[in-house]
Amino acid sequence: MTRSVSHGPPALDAWPPDSDWSGFVHFACGILDIMPDTNNRQRVFRHLHEAGCFVIPNPYDLGSARVLVQLGFKALATTSSGFAWTLGRSDNGVSLDDALAHMRLIAAGVDVPVNADFEGGFAIESDRVAINVKSATATGVAGLSIEDSTGNASQPLFDFSLAVDRIRAARRAIDETGTGVLLTARSEGFIVGRPDLAETIRRLTAFAEAGADCLYAPGIRTTSEITAVIAAVAPKPVNVLVGSDFTTVAELAQLGARRISVGGALARAAWTGFLGAAKEIAERGTFEGLTRAVPFADINQRFARE
């Protein structure tokens, strides 16, 4: 009997009574094997948010994710921009299906907790956000973030009430799945041309009350901005985005930041080397940039056992 290939078991009514059920049993057992590990990673991820300060770097593909784990990082976070660039698209230019597939790939490919940059939930209305969040919780991630940016330059942030409803819907969706996925709520004012600290804090505190586990305002940089946000949502943890050398891990830990991410900065660093070498070849016909590349053997050995 010929069966079409799918990512899950065949529908039960597609199997004749005398059919070989080994494929279905193998699939089901695989799910049972994965679930305990996913649950454990979610517990580990929550524990990381309880005290201290940790860096959660952002890989842009599976190879970079595995190297970050080799370097000792205890958790990872996807990056919407870094991932989009690997597909030849701009940030926020990937589909929901693309994002979910990427989340599955990274979560299954490393043995540490993974937080998903789930952008704006790939929807506007709260009920659609909830549906998509439920899909995201099934990918094996330990956490996910929802942001309040619209992608519309003339009105870059969702109206306050809708922004809060979207976080509340995400919280409800996660709770209904019975998973331990950690919800991070992001207010994007400082990176979409609305750097209003009071409004950012108003949104973050409302997001915390709506059920967000961790709060995040990408773009805040000064000590006064960071400490104000941390104090406003305490005791809930705060993620600080670092995309340049304006601070250090030790300094942010001293301020009370719980989590530090780098967004698309590692992807940009990789593209910097690529563009520098490629432009030299294209414009000068020389290859000096290639002499600064990491040796083939050094990179290759990192994946020899993967």
Cα–Cα dist 65/268, whole Å: 15
Crossing angle of the two packed helices 126-137 and 160-177, in degrees rounded to 10 = 40
> Residue 3's pLDDT is what?
34
Q: What is the pLDDT of residue 36?
A: 56
What pLDDT score does 305 carry?
Answer: 73
Residue 306: the pLDDT is 53
* Entry pTM: 0.87
Domains in the chain, please, with CATH?
Answer: 22-264 (3.20.20.60), 272-302 (no CATH)
Rg (C-alpha) for the chain, rounded Å, is 21
Token readout for 188 is 């994007």
Which pLDDT value is given to residue 256?
98
Across the beta sheet with 143-147, what order do the strands follow?
A: 54-55, 259-261, 238-241, 214-216, 182-186, 143-147, 114-117, 76-77
Between CA 235 and CA 144 the distance in angstroms is 20
Chunked into runs of 10 residues, the chain (306 residues) has average pLDDT values of 36 40 38 65 98 98 98 98 98 98 98 98 98 98 98 97 98 97 98 98 98 98 98 98 98 98 98 98 98 97 85
- Count of other CB atoms within 10 angstroms of residue 103: 25
